[in-house]
Amino acid sequence: MLDKSVPYAYFYMHRKAGAPIAHFPLPEGYKYVLYSKGDEYNWARIETAVLEFEDAFTALMRFNREYMSLPEELSRRCLFIENSDGEKVGTTVPWWRYVENERRPWLHWVAVDPEYQGIGLGKAIISRTIELMIELEGDVDFYLRTQTWSYKAVSIYRANGFEPTDEKALYTDRGKNYKMAMKILKKLSR
């Protein structure tokens, strides 16, 4: 869950091609499943539970805007963790963005329902998502956007080869958020 008691700044992370993947297995009783019709509601529920959105309707609108125009890609890319009762409890979407007219693979919307945090699901879904990204895109450079409110996830991203980047093409604020985020993260690591 996001820690909104921490000052907010967004920043980007970059995983270079060939970087090691930390293989974290799912705990017993959980499995990976890909998106199927209707899972947009599960995605919205999970993302709202971790405080990414104020309500499920807003989350659902975002999902529809970003992904529903490409249903065939969605069914290959939107990953969930399902518990033994068939409930979706974690999600992420290996997608892409265009940066300076170049299509780049991106890791989107990593979230684990707060009731299921602390048992290794976040570590597992990130490592599995990187494997899926490599299957879909090849072992190329990947990116993600995160924020200081997600500082606990940064170590998981780093374990999977992602490092903060100040790449100018990513920031519209001349890197002000990057600098502020690095200062905040440094204070949090003390």
pLDDT digits (tens, 9 = 90+) for 69-127: 999 999 999 999 999 999 999 999 999 999 999 999 999 999 999 999 999 999 999 99
The answer to whether residues 109 and 92 touch, using CB atoms and an 8 Å cutoff, is: yes
Options 1.10.10.10, 3.40.630.30, 3.40.50.10860, 3.40.630.40; which CATH number does 10-188 get? 3.40.630.30
The stretch 173-186 carries a mean pLDDT of 92
> Are 84 and 100 in contact, with CB atoms under 8 Å apart?
no
> Which pLDDT does position 102 carry in this prediction?
92
**In the numeric block, which tokens belong to residue 121?**
């699901």
- Where in the chain are the domains? 10-188
How far apart are alpha carbons 49 and 90 in whole angstroms? 11
Residue 132 above 80 pLDDT? yes
Residue 1: its pLDDT value, please? 76
What's the predicted TM-score (pTM) here? 0.92
- Per-residue confidence band for 20, with pLDDT thresholds at 50, 70 and 90: confident
